[in-house]
């Protein structure tokens, strides 16, 4: 793994499995994480667990071992990377209705998902003219990088994906022959639900990238890659590229969108206050509030402390 000499280990994990007593598990996970100095977010729901955490090797191993000892979680999917400093400020363990929110109660990944495709086999699948390739991520993620030839649904939230597919289904399948549909997302979890959703809609030839974009970027050399751009991640690294090297994007603290080098050269960009994407969405009063927050955060950094109001990327659907 690129960057293994770095002191912080980052673990992105998820697993769909029945979880009967979320509150009891939440309390124990919170205790273990806080006692070992781990930061990040873990989401628990009756359908499973999802999250990203960071800390020392020993601490991360302890949390992963605890989760894998839970009934049904022995094969928990974990993707590791490294960081120079902790990419999160706090530790949150929350109980929710879904670990990735689609809003389709009848869709159950445990009842069946699409066919997994290993990163080494992905290029051949998506290069097939008979394959329809769909990016299941949100519009701000797609904007900074995607696979060549992928369809961008233009969704602001994963919750919008079912309505988009139902509206576009006839156009996508207009040939009459059922094509192969291949989908991908950051770490694989959204595709567990998007492929299960398509199967519930009567589509059988559904495939998804095993381990998501992150596993592809870690596994496939840049000179053999069909990936273009960078991949947005839900922590302070903001985006990564091939080999999981930290990318060039920063985070707009006002709207949580990734900000490119060109965006930062715009007169509408002010660190911590606004970016070209959100400047027109915010009032002067809101920008003044963000400016004061940014000033307080700079003061805290100069003192070597973390500002209690420090803003982070939302742990949205991975």
Q: Which residues are identified as catalytic? A: 185
Structure token pair of residue 248? 């060039």
Residue 21: Cβ-neighbour burial (10 angstroms; 0-12, 13-18, 19+): exposed
Beta-sheet strand order (sheet of 180-184): 115-117, 206-209, 180-184, 131-135
* Count helices and strands in the chain by DSSP H and E runs: 9, 15
Q: What is the dihedral of CA 56, 2, 88, 31, to 10 degrees?
A: -30
The pair phi, psi for residue 188, each rounded to 5°, is: 110, -20
Q: Is 83 helix (H, G, I), strand (E, B) or coil?
A: strand
Structure token pair of residue 191? 């595709």
The DSSP H or E segment spanning 39 is strand 39-45
Q: Which residue has the tokens 């999981």?
A: 244
The pair phi, psi for residue 147, each rounded to 5°, is: -80, 145
List, in sequence order, the alpha helices (H) in the chain: 22-35, 57-68, 119-127, 139-142, 161-172, 189-200, 212-219, 261-264, 284-302
The pair phi, psi for residue 175, each rounded to 5°, is: -70, -20
């Amino acid at each position: 793994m690129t960057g293994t000499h770095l002191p912080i280990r980052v673990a992105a994990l998820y697993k769909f499995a029945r979880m009967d007593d979320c509150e009891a598990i939440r309390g124990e996970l919170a205790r273990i994480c806080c006692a070992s100095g781990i930061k990040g977010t873990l989401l628990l729901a009756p359908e499973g667990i999802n999250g990203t955490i960071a800390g020392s090797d020993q601490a991360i191993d302890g949390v992963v071992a605890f989760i894998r000892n839970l009934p049904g979680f022995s094969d928990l999917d974990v993707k590791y990377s490294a960081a120079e400093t902790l990419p999160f400020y706090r530790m949150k363990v929350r109980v929710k209705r879904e670990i990735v929110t689609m809003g389709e109660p009848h869709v159950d990944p445990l009842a069946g998902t699409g066919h997994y495709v290993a990163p080494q086999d992905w290029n051949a699948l998506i290069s097939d003219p008979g394959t329809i390739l769909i990016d299941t991520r949100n519009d701000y993620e797609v904007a900074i990088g995607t696979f060549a030839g992928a369809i961008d649904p233009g969704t602001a939230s994963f919750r919008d994906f079912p309505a988009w597919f139902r509206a576009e289904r006839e156009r996508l399948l207009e040939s009459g022959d059922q094509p192969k549909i291949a989908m991908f997302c950051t770490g694989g979890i959204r595709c567990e639900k998007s492929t299960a959703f398509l199967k519930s809609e009567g589509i059988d030839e559904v495939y998804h990238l095993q381990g998501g974009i992150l596993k592809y970027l870690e596994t496939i050399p840049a000179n053999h890659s069909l990936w273009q751009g960078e991949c947005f991640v839900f922590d302070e690294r903001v985006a990564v590229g091939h080999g999981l090297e930290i990318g060039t994007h920063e985070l707009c603290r006002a709207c949580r969108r990734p900000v490119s080098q060109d965006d930062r050269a715009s007169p509408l960009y002010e660190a911590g206050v606004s970016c070209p994407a959100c400047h027109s969405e915010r009032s002067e009063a809101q920008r003044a509030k963000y400016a004061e927050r940014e000033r307080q955060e700079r003061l805290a950094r100069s003192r070597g402390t973390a500002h209690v109001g420090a803003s982070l990327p939302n742990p949205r659907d991975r």
